[in-house]
C-alpha cells in the first residue's frame, strides 16, 4: 500500500513536471493563431472524452453536452469576475495576499466542475426512465434551456455574455499546462475505469440493461455516475474555455456545439477513448486547415464526414483502443479489447 | 419467521397473483423449491411461465401475495438486489453482452463479488487490483468448467448458438447463486446439444451445490432431469408431482393436447 501510494505520488509529480516543460517550452514558440487552435483542440478533447463516458461507454445517448460546458464556463467566469473581486478585499479574509493566478483558477475549476456535476446529476435522473431517442430529446432540451436561461439572465450579461475574465492561464503560458492536465485526468480516469470489473458494469449497461440488472449491476447508479463524472469534466472544459478566451456569450454553447461533440464521439468509435481524442482533434483542426478554401470550407468538411461515415460506420477506432506497443507494455491486460 | 417452519424451502411463492390491467397472467400461485432440488416449470405457450420467472426475480411486483427467498420477502427489492441475495437467471431469448468477450461477460457476472468502490477503480488501488485478479481467475476457472476456455477472448455475439446458451449459464453462475433459474435453456438446440445440456445441468448442480429451477418446453429434457414438476396453464398450477405423476395426469394431457370435451 505504501509502495503503491509512493509510486502514485512519483508518477503524478513526473506528469506535472513533463506537462510544465511542454507548456513553457512549446507554448511560447507557437504563433498565437496556432496556439488558439491547439487550445481549442484540447478543450474539445476534454469534451469528447467526457461525453464518451456517457454516450460511448455507458450507452446513454446524450446530446446536450454544451449545456454542461456552458455551466462550467459561466460558473468559472462568475467566480473570477463577480465573486472573487467582492471577497478578495474583505479585511478579515486577507485573500489578496496569497490568492495567485493558479489558486484562483483551481478554485474556478472546482466550482465549475461541481456546478456542472450537480446539473449532470439532475439530468441523469430522467435517464433512469428514458432510453434512446427519448433521452436524446431530453438532453437536447436541457442544453437549450441552459442557453436560453443564460441569454435572459442580466447578471451574467444576457446576450452580450461576460467579458474581462482574467486570462489567468495566459500570464506564464500555462494554458497548455492546465488543459493537458485535465486531458490527462479524463483519459486516465476513463482507462482505469475500463480496466476494472467495476468499469465493465458500465459497458454492461450499454450492451443490455435488463441483463445487467439480472447480473446484480445497480444500473441506476451506473448511469447517474456516468452523467455526473462526464458533466464535471465538461464543466472543467468550460472553465478553461472562459479563462483562455476571456470572453463568453451564450451562443458559443448552442446546439451546434453539442452536435459537434456528439459527432466526435460517434466518429471516433463509440466507447473508444483513443477514437474520441483523434476525432476531437480532427474535427477541430480540419475547418482551420481548410480556411484557405474560403467558402468551400464547410462543404469539404461535411463531405469528409459523410465519406468517413460511409467507409467506416463503426467509427475510426470502432470499439478498439490504441495501446502501447507490446514491448512497452508491463503485462498483458487480459480480456481487454475484442479485436482478434 | 416462516423460514423456521419450512427450513428446507429456499424459494417460496405464497398466493401470488399478477394482473396486467384486467388480465390475470398468474393467479394464486403457490410453489416452493427446496434446497438442492431440481424443479421444472412447464406449460403450453402463453401459460405464464416467463411471468412467473419475472415475478420471482423481481422484474415484476406481484399484485397480491409474496415471494420468499432464503428467508426474506423479496417483493420490495429490485432485480439487481435479488441477484445479490443469491438468485441468478438466464433468459429465454439470449441476452448476452454481445460486443464484449466471453470472459468479460463472465467477469461482469462476478461483479457481485467486487468489494471495491468507484474511487478505488479510478485510482487502481492495489486492493482493487488484487480483488479484480481474483475475480478474473474465478471467471477463467468458470469458463474452463463450462468448456468455454477456447472462446474466452471471442466476442459473445460471434459465438455459436449452443455456446451462447452455455456462456449465459456461466455468466449466471459467476454471480455465485444459491438458486439458478433457467428460462428454456434447450430452446433452439439440436438433440446432441440437448443431451450435452442435460449433462451440464447435472454437473454444475453437483459442482456448485445449486438449487435449480427451469422452464422448459422440451418434455424429454424436463422429464429426464427434474425431480419435481409444476404444470402451469392459464396462469394457474394445474398439476404437480414427479415426472411420472405429471405425465399421466389427465389435466396435463388436456392442457397440452386438448380433450374431446374441451370447447
Could you report the per-residue pLDDT of B16-34, keeping only the tens digit for each?
Answer: 999 888 888 888 889 999 9
- Whether B14 and B45 map to the same domain: the answer is yes
Across chain B, mean pLDDT equals 87
Length of chain A: 340
State whether B71 and B183 are in the same domain: yes
Q: What is the pLDDT along chain A (340 residues), one digit of tens a residue?
A: 677 788 888 888 888 888 888 887 887 778 888 888 999 999 999 999 999 999 989 988 888 899 999 999 999 999 888 887 777 666 665 555 555 667 788 888 999 999 999 999 998 887 777 877 888 898 999 999 999 999 998 888 888 888 888 776 545 567 788 889 999 999 999 988 888 888 899 999 999 999 999 999 999 899 999 999 999 999 999 999 998 888 899 988 988 899 999 989 988 888 889 999 999 999 898 888 887 777 777 788 788 888 888 888 777 777 777 766 655 555 444 444 333 3
Query: Is residue B128 one of the residues assigned to a domain?
Result: yes
B233, B239, B242, B245 alpha-carbon torsion, rounded to 10°: -110
Asked if A204 is an interface residue toward chain B (Cβ–Cβ < 8 A), one would say yes
Q: What is the domain count for chain B?
A: 2
End-to-end CA distance of chain A: 36
Identify the domain boundary among B171, B197, B222.
B171
pLDDT of res. A336: 41
Tell me which chain A residues have a C-beta less than 8 angstroms from the C-beta of B120: 198
Q: Does A332 touch chain B (CB under 8 A)?
A: no
Q: Provide the number of CB pairs (under 8 Å) joining chain A to chain B.
A: 128
**Same domain membership, residue B120 and residue B230:** no
Higher-pLDDT residue of B88 and A297 is: B88
* Closest CB to B80 among A1, A208, A218: A218
Say if residues A63 and A143 touch (Cβ distance below 8 Å). Answer: yes
* Pair B78, B181 in one domain: yes
Co-location of B152 and B203 in the same domain:
no
Cβ distance B95 to A198 less than 8 Å, yes or no, reads no
Q: Does B124 touch chain A (CB under 8 A)?
A: yes
Lowest-confidence segment of A27-31, A184-188, B10-14, B146-150 by average pLDDT: A27-31
The helix/strand/coil state of B10 is strand
> Kindly report the CA angle at A51 between A46 and A55, in degrees rounded to 5?
155
Say if B148 is an interface residue toward chain A (CB within 8 Å). Answer: no
Q: Give yes or no for A302 touching B (CB within 8 A).
A: no
| Confidence (pLDDT) at A117 | 95
What CA–CA distance (Å, rounded) separates A217 from A197?
A: 11
Note whether B128 contacts A: Cβ–Cβ < 8 A: yes
Instruction: State whether B183 and B210 are in the same domain.
Output: yes
pLDDT recorded at residue B143? 93
CB-based burial label for A231 (10 Å; 0-12, 13-18, 19+):
buried
Low-confidence winner among A168-182, B122-136, B226-240 (lowest mean pLDDT): A168-182
- B 189-248: CB under 8 A from A: none
Per-residue model confidence (pLDDT) at position A47 = 95
B138 vs A172, more confident = B138
Give CA–CA dist B235/B233, Å, rounded: 5
Q: Is A173 on the interface with B (CB under 8 A)?
A: no
In-domain check, residue B263: no
What CATH number has the domain bearing residue B211?
Answer: 3.40.50.300
- Sequence-distant (6+) residues with CB within 8 A of A86 are none
Which residue out of B94, B99, B106 would a mutagenesis test of the A interface target, given it has the greatest number of A Cβ atoms within 10 Å? B99
Among B35, B38, B46, CA closest to B12: B35
Cβ-Cβ contacts under 8 Å, B173 against chain A: none
Per-residue CA distances from B183 to A129, B88, B92, B203, B237 (Å): 26, 11, 5, 18, 18
- Do residues A227 and A142 lie in contact, with contact meaning Cβ atoms separated by under 8 Å? no
Residue B16, helix vs strand vs coil? strand
pTM for the model stands at: 0.87
Mean pLDDT of all residues in B213-227? 84
Q: Do A217 and B108 touch (CB under 8 A)?
A: yes
**A165-181 tens-digit pLDDT:** 877 654 556 778 888 99
Residue B163, min C-alpha distance to chain A (Å): 17
* DSSP secondary structure letter of residue A248: B
Cα–Cα distance measured from residue B52 to residue B12, given in angstroms and rounded to the nearest whole number? 12
ipTM: 0.87
Range of the domain at B137: 103-171
B167 and B187 assigned to the same domain: no
Instruction: Say if residue B159 is in the same domain as residue B181.
Output: no
Residues B165 and B183 in one domain: no
- Give the mutation candidate from B74, B90, B111, B158 for the A interface (greatest A CB count, under 10 A): B111
Amino acid at each position: 500500500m505504501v509502495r503503491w501510494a509512493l509510486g502514485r505520488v512519483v508518477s503524478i509529480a513526473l506528469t506535472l513536471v513533463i506537462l510544465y516543460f511542454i507548456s513553457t517550452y512549446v507554448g511560447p514558440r507557437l504563433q498565437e493563431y496556432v496556439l488558439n487552435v491547439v487550445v481549442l483542440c484540447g478543450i474539445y478533447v476534454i469534451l469528447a472524452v467526457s461525453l464518451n463516458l456517457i454516450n460511448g461507454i455507458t450507452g446513454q445517448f446524450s446530446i446536450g453536452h454544451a449545456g454542461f460546458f456552458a455551466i462550467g464556463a459561466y460558473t468559472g467566469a462568475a467566480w473570477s469576475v463577480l465573486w472573487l473581486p467582492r471577497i478578495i478585499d474583505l479585511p478579515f479574509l486577507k485573500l489578496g495576499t496569497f490568492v495567485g493566478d493558479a489558486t484562483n483558477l483551481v478554485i474556478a475549476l472546482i466550482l465549475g466542475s461541481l456546478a456542472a456535476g450537480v446539473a449532470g446529476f439532475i439530468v441523469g435522473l430522467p435517464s433512469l426512465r428514458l432510453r434512446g431517442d427519448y433521452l436524446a430529446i431530453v438532453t437536447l432540451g436541457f442544453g437549450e434551456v441552459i442557453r436560453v436561461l443564460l441569454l435572459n439572465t442580466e447578471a451574467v450579461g444576457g446576450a452580450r455574455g461576460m467579458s474581462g475574465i482574467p486570462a489567468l492561464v495566459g500570464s506564464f503560458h500555462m494554458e497548455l499546462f492546465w488543459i493537458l492536465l485535465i486531458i490527462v485526468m479524463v483519459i486516465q480516469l476513463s482507462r482505469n475505469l475500463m480496466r476494472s470489473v467495476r468499469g465493465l458494469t458500465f459497458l454492461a449497461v450499454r450492451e443490455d440493461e435488463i441483463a445487467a440488472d439480472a447480473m446484480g449491476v445497480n444500473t441506476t447508479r451506473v448511469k447517474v455516475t456516468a452523467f455526473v463524472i462526464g458533466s464535471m469534466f465538461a464543466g472543467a472544459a468550460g472553465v478553461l474555455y472562459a479563462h483562455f478566451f476571456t470572453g463568453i456569450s451564450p451562443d458559443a454553447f448552442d446546439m451546434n456545439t453539442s452536435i459537434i461533440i456528439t459527432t466526435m464521439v460517434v466518429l471516433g468509435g463509440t466507447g473508444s477513448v483513443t477514437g474520441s481524442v483523434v476525432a476531437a482533434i480532427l474535427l477541430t483542426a480540419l475547418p482551420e486547415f481548410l480556411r484557405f478554401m474560403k467558402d468551400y470550407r464547410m462543404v469539404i468538411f461535411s463531405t469528409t464526414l459523410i465519406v468517413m461515415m460511409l467507409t467506416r460506420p463503426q467509427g475510426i477506432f470502432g470499439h478498439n483502443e490504441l495501446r502501447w506497443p507490446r514491448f512497452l507494455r508491463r503485462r498483458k491486460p487480459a480480456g481487454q479489447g475484442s479485436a482478434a | 419467521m416462516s423460514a423456521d417452519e419450512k427450513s428446507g424451502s429456499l424459494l417460496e411463492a405464497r398466493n401470488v397473483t399478477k394482473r396486467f390491467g384486467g388480465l390475470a397472467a398468474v393467479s394464486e400461485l403457490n410453489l416452493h423449491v427446496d434446497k438442492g432440488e431440481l424443479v421444472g416449470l412447464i406449460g403450453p405457450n402463453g401459460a405464464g411461465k416467463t411471468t412467473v420467472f419475472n415475478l420471482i426475480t423481481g422484474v415484476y411486483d406481484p399484485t397480491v401475495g409474496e415471494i420468499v427467498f432464503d428467508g426474506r420477502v423479496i417483493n420490495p427489492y429490485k432485480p439487481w438486489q435479488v441477484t445479490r441475495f443469491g438468485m441468478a437467471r438466464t433468459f429465454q431469448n439470449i441476452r448476452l453482452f454481445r460486443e464484449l468477450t466471453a470472459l468479460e461477460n463472465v467477469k461482469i457476472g462476478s461483479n457481485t463479488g467486487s468489494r471495491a468502490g468507484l474511487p478505488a477503480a479510478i485510482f487502481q488501488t492495489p486492493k482493487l487490483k488484487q480483488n479484480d485478479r481474483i475475480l478474473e481467475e474465478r471467471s477463467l476457472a468458470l469458463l474452463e468448467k463450462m468448456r468455454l476456455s477456447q472462446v474466452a477472448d471471442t466476442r459473445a455475439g460471434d459465438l455459436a448458438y449452443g455456446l451462447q446458451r452455455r456462456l449465459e449459464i456461466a455468466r449466471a453462475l459467476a454471480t455465485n447463486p444459491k438458486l439458478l433459474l433457467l428460462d428454456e435453456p434447450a430452446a433452439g438446440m439440436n438433440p446432441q446439444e440437448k443431451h450435452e445440456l442435460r449433462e451440464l445441468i447435472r454437473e454444475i448442480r453437483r459442482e456448485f451445490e445449486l438449487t435449480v429451477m427451469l422452464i422448459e418446453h422440451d418434455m424429454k429434457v424436463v422429464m429426464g432431469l427434474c425431480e419435481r414438476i409444476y404444470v402451469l396453464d392459464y396462469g394457474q398450477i394445474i398439476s404437480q408431482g414427479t415426472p411420472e405423476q405429471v405425465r399421466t395426469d389427465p389435466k396435463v394431457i388436456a392442457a397440452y393436447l386438448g380433450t374431446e370435451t374441451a370447447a
